[in-house]
Structure formats: C-alpha cells, structure tokens
Amino acid sequence: MISKFENPLTNALSQGISEQDILEAVKSSGYPLQTIITEKLKSFDLTEEWSFVDRDTKSMRNIDILAEKRLYTYEDFPDTRVRPHISLLIECKQSSLPYVFFLTKHKPFLDNFPIYTGLFNNNRIQIKSNDTRDTWSLSINRLFGLVEHDFICNSPYKSKVFSKCVRKGREFELSGSDTYNSVVMPVIKAMSHYSQVCTPPKTAHYFSSYLTMGIAVIDGPMLGINVNEDGNNELVFTPWVRVLRHENDDELKWMYKGKHYVIDVIHKDFFSTYIDQHLMPFAELYASYALKHAKVLANGKGFIKGMGQDCTNNLEDRLK
C-alpha cells in the first residue's frame, strides 16, 4: 500500500520537475540564507520564523529570525534590578540582481537608536540636579555617552532610499515599493511588536532591558550610489548600509516630530564581522553601564550634580 510513496523524488520527477528545478526553488526562497545566518549566531538563543502582529492589518506575520543573548552572568550580578540583553530581529533576502542604495552624507540625530525595550520608560531617564529646578529627559545613549560611539555615529554608509533592480524585458529598472514592503516594513513592524511584548507589568521591580536591533541580511549585490550635482554619479560596493526610516509617532509630544527607525542592511559575507567587531562591542559597553546604573534604569530617574552649569559633559561619571 505504501510502495508508491517510498521514493518521493521519483514521484516528483515523474511530474516534470527536475532535481535542479527543486534546488533552484530552494535557493531562491531565502531559506538557505536563513540557515547560514543561524549557524553564525550559535551563541544566541534563536527562534526561527518568529511570529508578530502586523500593527496595520492586525494579522499574524513572521520574521525570519529572532536572536536573543544575555549580556550578564547571574553569578556575578545575582541581585541586579536590570538584566541587559541584546535582541536581533533579522530578515534574510537572496537576490541575483543588485540592491541599490542612494547614499546620504547627512548624519541625523538618532536619539532613540538603538531601541531599548523592557523598562517602564524604555529609552528616557528623568534627571534632577542640585543647582536648578529643571528636569532633563535624556535618552539612555546620551546619558551614557554612547551617542558618540563609532557604532552609532560612524557607520560607513547611510541611506534613506533604496531599491532593487528588476528585469523589464531586456532592460532593468528600479522597484522601490516592492523592496520597501518586503524588507523595510517587516523589520519595522516586528520591532514595534517586540517593544510591546517586552513591556513590563506595572508591579515589576526587576527588569530585562533589551538592546533591540533590526537587521536585513542580503545574499546578493549591494551597491551604493553617491549622487553628484554634475550628473557624474559614483557607484560603490556597500557591505553595510544603515537605512533610516522616519515615521510619525502619536505618542511623542511637544518638540518631538516623529522618530527614526533604523535598519542595518548587511551583506551575508560581512555579517560575522558586523556582529563581532561592531555590534557586540557596543552592546557589551551598554551592558556594563546598565549594570553599573541598574537602579537608575529601573526607577527611570537619576541625579547629576551641577547640571545647571554643565549638562553635557561626563554625564555617566556624574550619574547617581
């Protein structure tokens, strides 16, 4: 009764599907790249095909990989009120045709990058001082002096617009909307949902703080365009591009005019270098400050002497 199922490949080939057809379909699906990237993240706790709720349609969607890692040891910090972690939300894409990034030299002020989730206030700390009645609302990165870190301000390439080459007959054209919908929006929406599910209960005393990064990994050509006024545009190869997406946020009040979501787009061959030499040194520095100032992060409040005279220099050293 089961003999006809003993060789599924033979059955498939009898339907006119070749082994090469199957292998090409697998290759173009993105799953091989997903497997390769999970192998490079063995030190992380991994969830493949992580489900999240689309904030617009309220339907369930998946992102390829959620990778989480603890940035402290329980033995060294058994009573810390804030337990620092890093979380990576990763979408994998394969393409034989190039992704094209229109590069910008403008450096926006990224006060909320990366996203920190898991605290009552997530990213902002209220600071009082001894010489003024004023209160400062400072981002974690600014409070810890991390806004000047190379990982934050010196990524090699930045882009607000990128696209993908697609065939149109014998010619090529750029497809912006497809790239945006298939790469940018899944990562942004996954990050938004992750922030919500990490919100602590109102009665929480101990917290897990997740440094949360959105990443797209590309197995295919990544090309940057430096646009020049004279029309002589320059083409460069770009293994790491920081893509900036500005969005309105109704929860932001007063002087805040929306916020940037940031996605690091990384070529597959540069991924290990990006993680080991760029992202993790930054994350480990953040973790050291988070453990040092765990009470400040847990309470969302701190004290810095002399803020009325100097509200910019050596804030982390002066923080109580």
- Going by pLDDT thresholds of 50, 70 and 90, the confidence category of residue 233 is confident
Give the angle 99-102-105 at the CA atoms, nearest 5°: 135
pLDDT of residue 5: 47
Write the DSSP assignment of 97-131 as a string of letters.
SPEEEEE-------TT-SEEESSSSTTEEEEE-SS
The pair phi, psi for residue 318, each rounded to 5°, is: -95, -5
The answer to which of 14-23, 212-221, 243-252 has the lowest mean pLDDT is 14-23
Using the predicted structure, report yes or no on whether residue 1 has a pLDDT greater than 50.
no
- CB contact burial 24-57 (16+ within 10 A = b; e otherwise): eeeeeebeebbeebbeebeebebebebebbeeee
Tens of pLDDT, residues 28-58: 555 689 999 999 999 999 999 999 998 888 8
Q: Is-contact 165 97, C-beta < 8 A? A: yes
pLDDT of residue 93: 93
* Global pTM value: 0.86
Q: Higher pLDDT residue, 167 or 81? A: 81
Tens of pLDDT, residues 236-279: 899 999 998 877 665 555 545 566 789 999 999 999 999 999 99
The count of other CB atoms within 10 Å of the CB of residue 104 is: 16
| Residues forming a β-bridge with 246 | 260
pLDDT of residue 157: 86
The count of other CB atoms within 10 Å of the CB of residue 67 is: 23
What does the radius of gyration of the chain's CA atoms come to, in whole angstroms?
A: 23
